Amino acid sequence: MRPCNYLVPITFSHQLEISRPLSNTINRKFPHISTQKKVPYNGHSHLFFQFHLHCIASQLPFYQTPLHSTANLTWLRMEEANGDLQQGKLVVGAFVTIVAVSIVAFWLMKKGNKTRQAAPLPPGPRGLPVIGYLPFLGIHLHKSFTQLARDYGPIYKLWLGHKLYVVISSPSLVKQVRDHDVTFSDRYPSTASKILSFGRNDIAFCPYGAEWRKLRKVFVRELMSSARLNASYVLRKRHVEKAIKDVYQKKTGKALDFGQFAFMLISNTVLSMLWGSTAHGEQGEMLSSQIRGVAEESMVLQGAPNISDLIPSLARFDLQRVERKTHETFRRLDQIVSSIIEERRKLGEGNRVGEEAKDLLQVLLDLNNHGDYAAESSITDNQIKGILVDSMIGGTDTTSTTIEWTMAELMLHPDAMQKVHKELDEVIGRSNAVEEFHLPRLHYLEAAIKEAFRLHPALPLLVPRCPTEDCQIGRYTIPKGATVFINAYAMHRDPQLWDSPLEFRPERFLDENAAKFDYLGNSSQYFPFGTGRRVCPGIPMAEKMLNYILASLLHSFEWKLAHGSTEVDLTDKFGIVVKLEKPLVLIPTPRLANPELYYSYS
C-alpha cells in the first residue's frame, strides 16, 4: 500500500464559496483531506481537495462520474495524480468523504461564516521604482483612467509614489461599492485639502463617523430643506434679474465670455444665500472678488499632485512648496470667513430676522450658540467655517461649469436649442419672465441639463473614497487606505451602457428615463453628483440654480456664436472641476416681447 494524491474538484454554486477559515476547519476535522485551491469555472466556484489516501494499487488512469448530494454538490471528478488505485474503493471512499465535507461546509456556512479567501489586488500597469505610474498619467486624468480601463478592465490599480490607487469603471462594481457603503464612506484628503477644510472640520473631508453625520444632517436638514430653499428664492431671483438687466443694457449684440458671466452670477447668488445680509453694494462686491480669488487658489492647490502626499517620507521637505502656499491661502481664507462671522455676531440680537428669512450663516450661528458642542446639532466655529467654505468652493465652480457645458452643447445642436425655446414659449410665454414655479414643467430643458451632465460631469472622478478596511470588490481586494476613484466619466460614455454615447441627445432622459436617471446616485451608470452616503448634499440647491438660471438666460435671449464661428470647441481641461478649454464666447439678442421685462430689477 502506498499513499496517492487525488485532486477532486467540487463545483459549488456562488453562495457556497468556501473561505480560508472554513478550509482550515475542514482540514482539522478531516485530516486526510487538504483544501488546495479555488478556481472559477463556468461561473461556479471550485474547491479542490487533495486526497492523501492509502490505497491498494490497481490500474485507474482516469475516472469521472456525476454525483449528487443534498449539499449542492453537482459533480465530482477525480484524476489520478500519483500512483495506482483500486477503483471501487476510491469511488466509495471519495463519495462518503465528499458528502461529509459538504455537510460540514453547510453547517459552517449556516453559522454565518462569511469571511472570504483573500483575493488578489486588481491588475494594473507597472510603473517606475519610487514614483510608480505618475510620469505616464498625463494631465487629463479622467481620459487616462478611461483608457487604462480598456487595457486592464473595469477595476485596476496604480501605484503613484507610495500610494495605491484603485479605479472602478463598471456599474456592477459601483453597485458592489455601494453594497459596502460604510466601508467606502471615508476620504483620504491631500495635505492641501486637510488644511483648507479647517483640519477636516468641513463635510467633504470630515472622517466618516459621528461628527460627519452631524454636519451632514445639519447641512441637509437646516440648509437644503425645501422651506429654506424656497425662502432664498428671492435672493436667486434678485441676482438673475440683475444679470439679465446688465446683459440687456450692456451686452446686447456684443461678445460675452459666457463661462465667466455664469461663474460671477452663480458665485454672487451662492454668497448671498450664505451670508446675504452681511455685505452689500461695493463692500459686498469687493468681498466676493476676494473670495473668488482665494477659491481659485484653493482649487489649484488641491488639484495639483503633491509629491509630499505621494511619497510621505519626503513630506517634510515640501518640495513643491504646496504646503507653504496652502497655509498662506488658508490664512486669507480664514481671515475673510472669520471677519464675516464676527461682523454678524456684532449685529447681535437686535438685527435678528424671522426664521424664514435667515441666511445660511445665521442658521449655522444659531446652532453654534447652543454652546454645548456635544449636543446633537451643535457645531463649532471651525465647523461653521468648513461648511461655508464647502458651499463656496464646492457649490460655485461645479454649478457654473455645468451651465457653460449645457449652453455649449445647445449651441452645437440647434435642433435641441429650438426644442428648449419651444418649451419655454409654451410653458412661460414671451410676455412673462421665468419663475421657479415654472421649472417642474420644463422637461426638455431638464433632459438637456442631464445630458450635459452625462457627457461632461463636473467632477468626472467624483471625490475619491478611502476604504476603512480591506474589502473585496469583484474578484479583487481593495486594501484599507487605498484611494478609490469611481470613474463616472467612463461609465457615462460607455457604448455598452448608452446608445451612440458621444452624441448629445436629451431625449434619452425623457419619459420613463427621467425618473430612472435621477441625481441621487440611485443608478449605477449615471451619477453626476456621486453615489452612496457621500453623495453630494448640495443637489437641491444646485438643481434649483441650474434650472432657473439656464431657463432665464435662454428665455430672455437668443444666443449666437461670436466671431462668425459656426463650431464650438468642446475640448475639455482637467482640474478638480473639468471645464471647457477655450472660453465659450456668445452674443445675446433680446427675445422677450416686452422690454420692461428686462428691467424688473431695480
Which residues sit in the known binding site for heme?
A: 536
**CA gap 72, 93 in Å, rounded:** 19
User: For ligand HEM, which is the closer residue by CB, 294 or 536?
Assistant: 536
**CA gap 375, 210 in Å, rounded:** 12
Mark the segment that binds ligand HEM (CB under 6 A) among 80-88, 414-422, 525-533, 578-586. Answer: 525-533
User: For ligand HEM, which is the closer residue by CB, 9 or 530?
Assistant: 530
User: For ligand HEM, which is the closer residue by CB, 105 or 458?
Assistant: 458
Q: Residue 303 CB, nearest distance to ligand HEM (Å)?
A: 15
User: For ligand HEM, which is the closer residue by CB, 122 or 538?
Assistant: 538
Q: Is 400 in the site for ligand HEM (CB under 6 A)?
A: no
Q: Residue 326 CB, nearest distance to ligand HEM (Å)?
A: 19
Determine how many CB atoms are found less than 10 A away from the CB of residue 431: 9
Residue with cell 430643506: 225
Q: Is 536 in the site for ligand HEM (CB under 6 A)?
A: yes
Query: Do 164 and 483 touch, CB atoms closer than 8 A?
Result: yes
Q: Is 462 in the site for ligand HEM (CB under 6 A)?
A: yes
Query: Do 488 and 494 touch, CB atoms closer than 8 A?
Result: no
What are the residue ranges of helices labelled H in 41-83? Answer: none
CA 212 to centroid of chain Cα atoms: 17
Distances 158 to 120, 169, 461 between C-alpha atoms, Å: 14, 14, 15
Query: Do 466 and 190 touch, CB atoms closer than 8 A?
Result: no
Q: Residue 539 CB, nearest distance to ligand HEM (Å)?
A: 7
Q: Residue 453 CB, nearest distance to ligand HEM (Å)?
A: 7
**CA gap 177, 489 in Å, rounded:** 17
Mark the segment that binds ligand HEM (CB under 6 A) among 13-21, 306-314, 530-538, 561-569. Answer: 530-538
Q: Residue 535 CB, nearest distance to ligand HEM (Å)?
A: 5
Q: Of residues 189, 259, 386, 538, which one binds ligand HEM by CB under 6 A?
A: 538
Q: 558-587: b or e for each residue (b if 16 or more CB lie within 10 Å)?
A: ebebbeeeeebebebebbbbbbbeeebbbb
Rounded to the nearest 10 degrees, the angle between the axes of helix 281-303 and helix 395-412 is 90
Q: Is 534 in the site for ligand HEM (CB under 6 A)?
A: yes
Q: Of residues 424, 428, 458, 553, which one binds ligand HEM by CB under 6 A?
A: 458
User: For ligand HEM, which is the closer residue by CB, 132 or 538?
Assistant: 538
Non-local CB neighbours of 347 within 8 Å, separated by 6+ positions: none
Q: Of residues 362, 483, 531, 552, which one binds ligand HEM by CB under 6 A?
A: 531
Q: Of residues 145, 498, 526, 529, which one binds ligand HEM by CB under 6 A?
A: 529
**Total residues binding ligand HEM (CB under 6 A):** 26
Q: Of residues 364, 407, 408, 541, which one binds ligand HEM by CB under 6 A?
A: 541
Q: DSSP string of 385-402?
A: HHHHHIIIIIHHHHHHHH
User: For ligand HEM, which is the closer residue by CB, 236 or 421?
Assistant: 236
**Residues within window 378-397 making contact with ligand HEM, judged by CB under 6 A:** 390-391, 394-395
**Residues within window 144-203 making contact with ligand HEM, judged by CB under 6 A:** 203
**CA gap 205, 301 in Å, rounded:** 15
φ and ψ of 478, to 5 deg: -105, 115
Q: Of residues 542, 568, 586, 592, which one binds ligand HEM by CB under 6 A?
A: 542
Query: Do 207 and 198 touch, CB atoms closer than 8 A?
Result: no
User: For ligand HEM, which is the closer residue by CB, 38 or 579?
Assistant: 579
3-state helix, strand, coil in the chain (%, to 5): 50, 15, 35
Q: Is 399 in the site for ligand HEM (CB under 6 A)?
A: yes
Sheet holding 483-486, edge to edge: 155-160, 163-168, 483-486
User: For ligand HEM, which is the closer residue by CB, 46 or 358?
Assistant: 358
Distances 357 to 229, 362, 365, 432 between C-alpha atoms, Å: 10, 10, 14, 26
Q: Is 220 in the site for ligand HEM (CB under 6 A)?
A: no
Q: Is 537 in the site for ligand HEM (CB under 6 A)?
A: yes
Q: Residue 542 CB, nearest distance to ligand HEM (Å)?
A: 4
Q: Of residues 162, 163, 180, 216, which one binds ligand HEM by CB under 6 A?
A: 216
Mark the segment that binds ligand HEM (CB under 6 A) among 106-114, 302-310, 362-370, 536-544. Answer: 536-544
Mark the segment that binds ligand HEM (CB under 6 A) among 22-30, 66-74, 300-308, 398-406. Answer: 398-406
Distances 18 to 12, 36, 207 between C-alpha atoms, Å: 9, 12, 34
Residues that bind ligand HEM (CB under 6 A): 203-204, 216, 390-391, 394-395, 398-399, 402, 458-459, 462-463, 528-532, 534-538, 541-542
